[in-house]
Chains A and B, each alone.
Chain A
Amino acid sequence: MTSSSDLATDLFKSAVKGERRSLGKLLTAIERGGDQAEIIAGLAHQVSGNTHVVGITGAPGSGKSTLTGRLLKLFSEAGDKLAVLAVDPSSPLTGGAILGDRIRMDDLAGEESFIRSMATRGHSGGLALAVPAAIQLFDAVGYEPVIIETVGVGQVEVDVAGAADTTVVVVTPGMGDAVQANKAGLLEVADIFVVNKSDRPGASDARRDLELMLDLGHVSGLEQMTGYRPPIIMANSLDGTGADEVLDAIKSHAEYLRNSGKIHIRRKERLVMEIQNRIELLVESTASGILKSELGASSITKVLDRKISPAEAAKSIVGSIISSE
């Protein structure tokens, strides 16, 4: 325990000094989870909380990575030292993954920037812990801003992107009509919309559908509640059209968050969500341990014999965790 703590501290100190390889190793430890990941997340947490976190999300193939690559170039040219965390799905069958986001980014990355690919590794709970820890780590060693790129499929991915300071949702022409755009979900977490591949037929229809959706938010009162209307930007990430507008929109949104004081609310929500996720995982792992123990076996028998219900069994197991603390 002491040696793993020392190792983590040494790696952390060297990463703060700008040693990229140490940062790479720290991220590996964070992804692996367990004690060492907690030590590292703890070290990072103490000195983080400053960097602006941008989430970029959208359907597979909508051009998120290419847009991220464009933003990498623009931020780097402006002298920012930014980090990108590109999250891609693991195969549910084998646990393997092909992480190909760097293809769209490498040419455009400045020397100061740092790109890390992360696989979802099947267990969504792990991702829910690893992503915030990685953000705090990038923050602690001085990256500003941090971009998180995830596929907007699945609750955890939406949560991760939605928990950013600024969430950019990338859509493409032909994604569906106005009814689709009004369904709840990904579109609701957007602070900025990007209609990518805007050279394709249907791009202006996609824009109109989004405008209409936002107009309805005005009618329903949602816009007054949030006090903010997300801009819609037409872009073509292949040739870079619109990327500078996206950059400007990210900066204006950051300014809006600061001026309105909403940045503190967002960041508090993010930390609360992280605590919540950690509680759930702790309770879950403790509870499944109990389920495999003698107490669990006797509960299962009682449920099988129809003496207690599954709900009563679950309550008594969770109750035994609380009373043992």
Chain B
Amino acid sequence: MAQKTYDWAAIAKDPRFLELHHKKSRFLFGWWIFSSIYYFLLPIGAAYAPELFKIQVLGRINFGYVFALSQFFVSWGIALYYAKVANRDFDRMTRELVQELG
């Protein structure tokens, strides 16, 4: 239970909160859309561009395999990048805002 009451509407209009909100929304939804498109290229490509997936790039290893494997690394990459930006920027901005209201 909150020990303290806040003027939520005022915080929501606070320029620092608005800056946090804009930065965060752009980042989160942007990367979410990127990751979704990248993922759905896999089943779509396998179904409609099978010749591309069959191209052998390294010995027996074909493009399709490399692309499917890349999905794992792209997901991990996005996760780590988000953690870095959140730890560096979002958390700091939140902390500054909360301390001021404290």
Pairing of A with B: no
